[in-house]
């Protein structure tokens, strides 16, 4: 039997965990035991979140190794020493399968860790397990043939957003300290919004995508999912960096600060000029609860010194409808991934995967549609690439005209979808994925409580800035977080014992 935790595990942060390591009240082994107990109690039992696909059988051994290293030297091996992290199950791990949520990939064992996973392990992180997701990251509801439907811990009748919804549900329910996601459309930020978390979609070139099962050469990004802005910034500090296996990261060399976490400034809103983009808010009754939360976000920003400018972006809708290029690129991107696994692939090709008809029915429809398109050199695909540059210029010019530091909007115009729905409606992630500009999603508030959502359903706000403005966006989100204290732990996964 696992002994009682000597430390309040729920809502723990990197800083609080490291302080407990230093004063001797906690070890990495105890911490991992505590998180494993929560996974055992709540992932397939209790609320049955179905957030996890694999739990790392070596996690306790890794924790013991780190404890021994700390005792020997009285020092941390790196900035994430002993911090348990859950990876979306499209991040390659050499010691666990990388499945993408697919029964066809359940035995796929890459030869090496993803670049970012290697950086996390070198920084001292403990990979606690791999999270469920929308199969192959095709959509926003987090359902897969291998893991089933992930449930939102704030409302067990709803999805947790997606496609990184397993990570979102797990981090929200305190299954680990940190998580990772990938974001082709809005797949980091959608679960951050739906699960009262912080998610970062970095500028293209800041973080390597190498070793992450892809959807797109152009749109894919990977980044942190955390309960606090500071923890997201600390993880981004570790993830960012040049990787010759993903040459686009050469564009990010010299663009990151010495530390995103060290640069957080609770007074940063005093100097901020933020635009609230009306195009990205609805005007029907179904939008009322999200709009109410956003108005409260605006009031808090203004109360702490920000100037909020309300504006519309003329021409946005026409371009935004024709910039997503992932469906044209997905088959070729997946085939390249299979060829790089370092051994016989679990399926021969994207075409063979589609023909196997093993995917969840919702995802199978998407895969078949992608197989029928003309590929990345199709004229429609090339026009979408041209539209991306047009949208970048349109957004940047409007920000310059208005003197804006960032653009604010709800990540999703309506509350997150119910479990069983085939898609996630009215999300606004295209502003970032269609331009490549940086975006940070953070907890904005909650809808009104209901019988199934006793705290209300989380509503995420998002800030977008130009290339490599992650530090500024994180500081604004941090200042709001410190002022508003929005996040609350879900009631469906209380403290154990």
Tens-place pLDDT, residues 344-403? 899 999 999 999 999 999 999 999 999 999 899 999 999 999 999 999 999 999 999 999
| Contact between residue 128 and residue 35 where contact means Cβ atoms under 8 Å apart | yes
| Angstrom distance (rounded) from CA 434 to CA 494 | 39
Query: What is the torsional sign of CA 400, 269, 263, 407?
Result: negative
In a domain? residue 7? no
Q: Is residue 265 part of a domain?
A: no
Active-site amino acid positions: 88, 163, 187
Does 263 fall in a domain?
A: no
Q: Residue 237 has what pLDDT?
A: 98
Q: Give dist(CA 427, CA 416) in Å, integer.
A: 9
CB contact burial 460-486 (16+ within 10 A = b; e otherwise): bbbbbbbbbbbbbbbbbbbbbbbebeb
**Tell me, what CATH number does 58's domain have?**
3.90.1300.10
Do the domain assignments include residue 491?
A: no
- For residue 410, the cross-strand partners are 461
Q: What tens digit of pLDDT does each residue of 167-215 get? A: 999 999 999 999 999 999 999 999 999 999 999 999 999 999 999 999 9
Which residues of the chain fall below pLDDT 50?
1
Contact 163, 133 (CB under 8 A): yes
Q: Is residue 4 part of a domain?
A: no
Query: If you compute the radius of gyration of the chain from its CA atoms, what whole number of angstroms results?
Result: 21
CA angle, residues 230, 233, 238, in degrees to nearest 5: 135
- Asked, for residue 9, whether it belongs to a domain, the answer is no
191 located within any domain: yes
Count CB neighbours of 3 within 10 A: 9
The whole-number pLDDT of residue 74 equals 82
pTM of this prediction?
0.97
With beta carbons less than 8 A apart as the criterion, state whether 297 and 444 touch. yes
CB 413 within 8 A of CB 428: yes
The number of folded domains in the chain is 1
CA quadruple 35, 36, 42, 46: dihedral positive or negative? negative
Quote the tokens at residue 428. Answer: 């606004």
Structural domain harbouring 170 = 14-245+270-484
Q: What is the pLDDT of residue 5?
A: 66
Residue 57 located in a structural domain: yes
385: CB partners within 8 A, 6+ apart: 218, 325
Exposed e or buried b per residue across 49-87, where buried means at least 16 C-beta atoms within 10 angstroms of its C-beta: bbbbbbbbeebeebbeebbebbeeeeebbbbbbbbbbbb
Q: Which residue do the tokens 């790392």 mark?
A: 56
């Amino acid at each position: 039997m696992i002994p009682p935790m000597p430390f309040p595990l729920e809502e723990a942060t990197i800083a609080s965990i490291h302080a407990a390591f230093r004063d001797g009240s906690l070890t990495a082994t105890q911490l991992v035991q505590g998180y494993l107990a929560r996974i055992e109690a709540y992932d397939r039992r209790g609320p049955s979140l179905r957030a996890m696909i694999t739990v790392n059988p070596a996690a306790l051994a890794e924790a013991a190794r780190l404890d021994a290293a700390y005792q020997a030297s009285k020092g941390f091996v790196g900035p994430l020493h002993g911090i348990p992290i859950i990876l979306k199950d499209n991040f390659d791990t050499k010691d666990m399968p990388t499945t993408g949520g697919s029964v066809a990939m359940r035995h796929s064992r890459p030869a090496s860790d993803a670049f970012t996973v290697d950086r996390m392990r070198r920084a001292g992180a403990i990979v606690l397990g791999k999270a469920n997701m929308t199969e192959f990251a095709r959509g926003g509801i987090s359902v897969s043939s291998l893991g089933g439907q992930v449930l939102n811990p704030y409302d067990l009748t709803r999805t947790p957003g997606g496609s990184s919804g397993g990570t979102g549900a797990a981090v929200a329910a305190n299954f680990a300290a940190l998580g990772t996601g990938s974001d082709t459309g809005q797949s980091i930020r959608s679960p951050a919004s739906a699960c009262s978390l912080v998610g970062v979609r970095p500028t293209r070139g800041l973080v390597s995508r190498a070793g992450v099962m892809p959807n797109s050469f152009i749109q894919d990004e990977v980044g942190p999912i955390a309960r606090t802005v500071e923890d997201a910034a600390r993880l981004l500090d570790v993830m960012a960096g040049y990787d010759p296996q993903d040459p686009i990261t050469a564009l990010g060399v010299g663009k990151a600060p010495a530390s995103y976490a060290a640069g957080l400034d609770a007074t940063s809103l005093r100097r901020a000029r933020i635009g609230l983009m009306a195009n990205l808010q609805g005007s029907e009754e179904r939008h009322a609860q999200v709009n109410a939360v956003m108005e409260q976000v605006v009031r808090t920003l203004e109360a702490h010194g920000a100037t909020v400018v309300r504006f519309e972006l003329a021409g946005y809708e026409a371009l935004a409808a024709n910039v997503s290029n992932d469906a044209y690129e997905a088959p070729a991107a997946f085939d390249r991934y299979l060829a790089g696994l370092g051994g016989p692939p679990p399926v021969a090709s994207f075409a063979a995967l589609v023909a196997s008809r093993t995917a969840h029915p919702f995802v199978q429809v998407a895969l078949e549609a992608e197989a029928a398109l003309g590929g990345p050199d199709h004229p429609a695909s090339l026009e979408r690439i041209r539209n991306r540059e047009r949208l970048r210029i349109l957004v940047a010019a409007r920000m310059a005209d208005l003197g804006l530091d960032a653009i604010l909007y709800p990540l999703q115009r309506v509350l997150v979808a119910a479990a069983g729905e085939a898609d996630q409606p009215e999300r606004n992630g295209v502003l970032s994925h269609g331009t490549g500009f940086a975006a940070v999603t953070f907890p904005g508030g909650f809808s009104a409580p209901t019988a199934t959502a006793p705290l209300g359903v989380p509503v995420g706000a998002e800030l977008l800035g130009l290339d490599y403005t992650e530090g500024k966006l994180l500081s604004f989100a941090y200042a709001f977080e410190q002022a508003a204290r929005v996040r609350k732990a879900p009631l469906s996964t209380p403290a154990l014992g």
